[in-house]
Structure 1
Amino acid sequence: MQRFSRVAGLSRLANLCLESACPLCQRSTAQALCLDCQRQLQHLRLSPSQQTWRSPLPIFAWGSYSGSLKRALTTLKYENQPQLARPLGDWLAQSWLQFAQTSEKMPEKSLLEKSLIVVPIPMHLAKQQQRGFNQAELLAEAFCQRTRLPLNPHVLMRNRSTEAQFGLSIAAREQNLADAFTLNETVVHSLKRSPHAVLLLDDIYTSGATARSAAQTLRQQNIAVYGIVTVAKTTIAKTTIAKTTAAKT
């Protein structure tokens, strides 16, 4: 009994040593997020009917960009907390897998016959070096670990630094992202040799200007784009999607 007590005591001590502060609330936790913050984030998960739209570029979003989810993504990017990408990317993957297995809103069946490859939206090299990581790539790593889809972060490159999208009008966002991406020709040749379709991944979907610009760059080289998955969508996203869809019909 005494030996069991010593072992239990050592186990508790080891757990305490492994714990750190939750980046959102500073409570002690052995995980990337404490259980209370995880519960708050799960409350912001969108219902299945709100997660997808059949726009010119099919979109899947895990949650609403508000409250603790907005805080989590801001903390991930601007407070040097890359470990937050793992749970967020994993939750996105779990929801997307459920959607892919059960939903009738899946994109064209012809694309399902191709091998999906996940491509995170790239940052400009200078900005990525300043931040130390690309949040979309970290989210994609967790997403692919769960879905078992292949990841290639080198397909797209950002060929110029763009102005921050926050506060820009929809038209200004489109202009800001025009011709912002280019392709890695070496990778593109390998993609064209086999029937791949690209699944783009980003942290936030707002007006869709970034996703559309990236998709256009790929499609200009006859690379199929399956759609985009994001951790969060903003409140203006659905209105923007509806306007974009109407303008193209």
Structure 2
Amino acid sequence: MSLAELKRMSIGGWLSIGKAWSGLFLKSSCPLCDRPAEGQLCAACLKSLRRCQLADPQRLWQAELPVFAWGTYGGLLKRAIAVLKYENQPQLARVLGTELAQAWLDSGISYPRGTGVIPIPLHETKLKQRGYNQAQLLAERFCEISGLRLYSSGLKRVRQTQAQFGLSSSARSLNLTEAFVVGNLKRNSPILLLDDIYTTGATARSAAQTLQQQGISVLGIGAIALAGQS
């Protein structure tokens, strides 16, 4: 390119050249290790994350409230969920939601036509503090891949509850009494609830009971991580 042509180049042209050159040298950083990454995670962290995957994610699918969980809450999966929730890295939900959806499709679980997905909601106060609901982001990606219908506002959390961590089983249930109300959804659709972590199931049972009291069938709950299970 001649000097005259360079002088005539528009600002947009210079920006395009700048982006092209920067793309050759700069990559995004992995939010789990800060190494360069082609996607949301570097190859090493993605490999380590997949080691957390359960061999049988549907082993609790025959429980009173069926549970489908992708991985064990430990190792890099525990770290990834913490970074997603508390370090403002919402893009991690795409990685985790993809893994959960692919495991769901591979499982061969049968479900009624028209099944919808409802993410476990945050109370408005916590939503404002965090800026997003991690379960909502996971559900969005899960539905993109699985083809299930997303009901983002199917449930609302109308009572701010204590953190469940550290509470006894009875205290967990009491803490969630009347915490949810049914929002906007197709009433004759069976529902798969979706959350980031499944521990004792108190939150999932409370949400399921709220739906069932309105005559809505609950298929079960999907979670990216299973905690506190032997």
Output the TM-score relative to the length of structure 1.
0.81
Counterpart of 1:158 in structure 2: which amino acid?
R
Cα pair 1:208 1:237 within 8 Å, conserved: no
Identical columns (%): 50
Question: In structure 2, how many angstroms separate the alpha carbons of the residues matched to 1:15 and 1:97?
Answer: 37
Q: Which residue of 1 aligns with 2:39?
A: 31
Q: Which residue of 2 aligns with 1:210?
A: 203
1:20 is matched with which residue: 22, 28, 44? 28
Q: Which residue of 2 aligns with 1:121?
A: 120
Question: In structure 1, how many angstroms separate the alpha carbons of the residues matched to 2:22 and 2:86?
Answer: 32
Counterpart of 1:224 in structure 2: which amino acid?
S
CA separation of 1:50 and 1:146: change in aligned 2, threshold 3 A? closer
CA separation of 1:27 and 1:181: change in aligned 2, threshold 3 A? same
Task: Output aligned runs, 1:95-106, within 5 Å.
Answer: 95-99=103-107, 101=108
Q: Which residue of 2 aligns with 1:243?
A: none
Unpaired runs of 5+ in structure 2?
1-18
Task: Output aligned runs, 1:153-232, within 5 Å.
Answer: 153-184=152-183, 187-188=184-185, 191-192=186-187, 195-232=188-225
Question: In structure 2, how many angstroms separate the alpha carbons of the residues matched to 1:91 and 1:25?
Answer: 20
Q: Which residue of 1 aligns with 2:16?
A: none
* Aligned pairs, number: 212
Deviations 1:50-81 (A, max 9, x none): 64331111100000000100000000000000
Cα pair 2:57 2:69 within 8 Å, conserved: no
Cα pair 1:51 1:63 within 8 Å, conserved: no
Counterpart of 1:118 in structure 2: which amino acid?
V
Shift of 1:237: 3.3
Q: Which residue of 2 aligns with 1:233?
A: 226
Structure 1 stretches of 4+ with a deviation exceeding 3 A read: 10-13, 49-53
Counterpart of 1:237 in structure 2: which amino acid?
Q
Q: Which residue of 2 aligns with 1:242?
A: none
Counterpart of 1:221 in structure 2: which amino acid?
Q
Shift of 1:175: 1.2
Deviations 1:140-181 (A, max 9, x none): 011011111111110100011110111111121111112110
Shift of 1:83: 0.5
CA separation of 1:15 and 1:132: change in aligned 2, threshold 3 A? farther
Question: In structure 1, how many angstroms separate the alpha carbons of the residues matched to 2:70 and 2:37?
Answer: 24
Task: Output aligned runs, 1:61-80, within 5 Å.
Answer: 61-80=69-88
Question: In structure 2, how many angstroms separate the alpha carbons of the residues matched to 1:50 and 1:221?
Answer: 27
Larger Rg: 2
Higher helix share: 1
Question: In structure 1, how many angstroms separate the alpha carbons of the residues matched to 2:24 and 2:125?
Answer: 39
Cα pair 2:112 2:190 within 8 Å, conserved: no
Q: Counterpart of 1:60 in 2: which secondary structure?
A: strand
Counterpart of 1:226 in structure 2: which amino acid?
L
Question: In structure 2, how many angstroms separate the alpha carbons of the residues matched to 1:158 and 1:145?
Answer: 24
CA separation of 1:125 and 1:50: change in aligned 2, threshold 3 A? same
Q: Which residue of 2 aligns with 1:48?
A: 56
Question: In structure 1, how many angstroms separate the alpha carbons of the residues matched to 2:54 and 2:46?
Answer: 15
Unpaired runs of 5+ in structure 1?
1-9, 107-111, 239-249
Question: In structure 1, how many angstroms separate the alpha carbons of the residues matched to 2:151 and 2:216?
Answer: 14
